[in-house]
Amino acid sequence: MHINTYQTYQRRGTAGAPVVLAFHGTGGDELQFVGLIDEMLPQAGIVAPRGDVSEFGASRFFRRTAEGVYDMADLRQRTVQMLNFVSDVRNSYPDRAIYALGYSNGANILASMLFENPDLFDRAALMHPLIPWTPQPQSRLKEKPVMISAGMQDPISPLNGSLALIEWFKAQEASVESVIAPGGHQISSAELGALRGFLRAA
């Protein structure tokens, strides 16, 4: 058991139902996706940590030095910290599937964890991620269900980066679903529809 320093919303849900880990975007909090998960998977458990980095008062999961420029040492450290957190969640729900969804900064920390240890997750949805580097190959992503969504005019997470990430996951032989929606950095109705189907697919 690791020491949990995150402020966290938790609900056990119904026995046998999946547990959904939810990772908010910059400036969000642990409640950002609770209502959405309730609507999509009403029996599910929920574990939603609040990012422990403050950027001018906005909660994040790791530091950056500018828009799209990450403090890579901090990202590595906080990825390990979050992997420990998720490992404890998995151990707390040994007989239940572990799903994860993340938006923006939350999608980025989720992606970083998938690069390191995809075995902790049964399926994962990345909404508007920005990964400005090419990850190392990860053979354990083979057949892992992964959803990636993006906006065609997203100024925060440019489309070409999202398309490159989609291709990277496909190259790892993950089971990839992608949604490219009109609009910018907001989550569109098309993405929500795809997310609903993705979470309920199993």
In 3D, which of 111, 100, 108 has the Cα closest to residue 68?
Answer: 108
Q: Which one of the listed residues 24, 59, 154, 157 is annotated catalytic?
A: 154
What one-character DSSP code corresponds to residue 119?
G
User: Locate tokens 């609903």: which residue?
Assistant: 196
- As a dihedral over the C-alpha atoms of residue 26, residue 28, residue 34, residue 36, rounded to 10 degrees, the angle is -60
| 72: helix, strand or coil | helix
Would residue 92 show up in a list of annotated catalytic residues for this protein?
Answer: no
CB 84 within 8 A of CB 109: no
Would residue 185 show up in a list of annotated catalytic residues for this protein?
Answer: yes
Contacts of 93 (CB under 8 A, 6+ apart): 19, 45
Q: Which one of the listed residues 59, 104, 157, 162 is annotated catalytic?
A: 104
Would residue 95 show up in a list of annotated catalytic residues for this protein?
Answer: no
Output the CA–CA distances (angstroms, integers) from residue 47 to 7, 8, 18, 155, in the order listed.
10, 7, 11, 29
In 3D, which of 101, 89, 92 has the Cα closest to residue 128?
Answer: 101
Residues with a known catalytic role: 104, 154, 185
